[in-house]
Structure 1
Amino acid sequence: MSTRVKICGLTRIGDVGAAVDAGADALGFVFYDPSPRAVTIEQAKVLARNVPAFVSVVGLFVNPSEAFVREVLDRVPLDLLQFHGDETAEFCNRFGRRWIKAVRVREAGQIERAMREYRQASGLLIDAWDPDRYGGTGHSFNWDLIPSERPLPLILAGGLSSANVADAVEKVKPWAVDVSGGVEKAKGIKDIEKISDFVKEAHRA
């Protein structure tokens, strides 16, 4: 089975096209103003129009208000919600849409607890812990903390690039991998060659 690939933090139409052409399964748009990869609702509407059928459009939120999530859903055709903050399972379930929950890993047992707490999620995204940032850190974490028993599909993020994604897939055997900074030439500005190399390496493994 081929590992799925999500390219996150897209801000330009050309980068959307590059990710689609490379074979990405999902594209992520960040609705979190402090992020250097944030897009407005209007920007996201334009970007989403350039995503063809059978490629998922994912909206990333960090501790949003319910009203803001609903406003985005009313105006942007999202296929999946990604909650990357401290949202409760009850909050994530409010929108009648499939969702995944991100967990910033820093201790043993944390992933197992999250899989129980967010058991209604469509997947659990595991990322590196940073006390100041909710994802997009460019750092990896100790993959030995990842359990082999996984009641939810596991999405691996954190410090991935074409140089290490094949190794990550071999060791962790995730359902999918998620990359942002590892395919950029500047924050929010993707590198077409890096995207292509990343997808090829993820699929090669």
Structure 2
Amino acid sequence: MNTRVKICGLTRVEDIEAAVEAGADALGLVFYQPSPRSVVVSEAAELARHVPAFVSVVGLFVNPTAEEVREVLERVPLDLLQFHGDESAEFCSQFGRRWVKAIRVREQGQIEAAFKSFSEASGLLVDAWDPERYGGTGQSFNWDLIPSDRPMPLILAGGLSSDNVFRAVSQVRPWAVDVSGGVERSKGIKDIEKISDFIKEVHRVCKTD
């Protein structure tokens, strides 16, 4: 199975183009104002214009109101919603759009419980626990907590870079990996070489299998 790659936290057209050129499967736009990688709706709409066919545009939200999500959907052609806060399954399901739920992992059994709680999701994203931040920590977690029995696609995030993603994919065998800080020069500003190296390392796993 080929592991898919999402590059998240994009804020510039040149970074969108670089990620597409390097072979990214999905691109993430952050609609969470406290994040240094956040974009406003008008910026997101412009960025989305530069995404070609067969590359997914993902909108990332953290505890939004339903009105906020709908406002984005009216103006930005999102293919998938990604919820990183404390949203319920009922909240995530109301927009008539496929969605992914992110959880911050810190203990055994948490992922199995999330598979059940968010059974209508198109995937479950597992990230590192931080009591103050909803992702974007740059930290990894104990991958041994990830079960091999997965009733839906599992997306691995948290502290990934070209230095460790080969090992991560080889060990976890996720449906996809999600990276932001690991391919940046500074927060919100991507590094073209780091994006390319990251995706090459993911694809290298498939070649060695």
Give the structure-2-normalised TM-score.
0.98
Tell me what 2:7 maps to.
7
Question: How many Å separate the matches in 1 of 2:203 and 2:84?
Answer: 26
Deviation at 1:2, TM superposition (A): 1.2
Deviation at 1:144, TM superposition (A): 0.5
Tell me what 1:27 maps to.
27
Tell me what 1:95 maps to.
95
Question: How many Å separate the matches in 2 of 1:105 and 1:36?
Answer: 23
Tell me what 1:184 maps to.
184
Structure 1: 5+ residue stretches without partners: none
Structure 2: 5+ residue stretches without partners: none
The number of residue pairs the alignment matches comes to 205
CA RMSD between the two structures: 0.3
Question: How many Å separate the matches in 1 of 2:185 and 2:137?
Answer: 15
Question: How many Å separate the matches in 2 of 1:140 and 1:187?
Answer: 18
Deviation at 1:121, TM superposition (A): 0.2
Tell me what 1:73 maps to.
73
Deviation at 1:157, TM superposition (A): 0.1
Give the structure-1-normalised TM-score.
1.00
Deviation at 1:133, TM superposition (A): 0.6
Deviation at 1:103, TM superposition (A): 0.5
CA deviations on 1:176-196 (whole Å, 9 max, x unpaired) are: 000000000100000000000
Letter in 2 for 1:23: G
CA deviations on 1:91-134 (whole Å, 9 max, x unpaired) are: 00000000000000011000000000000000000000001110
Question: How many Å separate the matches in 2 of 1:196 and 1:109?
Answer: 35
Tell me what 2:157 maps to.
157
Question: How many Å separate the matches in 1 of 2:203 and 2:155?
Answer: 15
Question: How many Å separate the matches in 1 of 2:42 and 2:26?
Answer: 20
Local SS of the residue matching 1:50: coil
CA deviations on 1:37-75 (whole Å, 9 max, x unpaired) are: 000000000000000000000000000000000000000
Displaced runs of 4 or more, over 6 A: none
Tell me what 1:37 maps to.
37
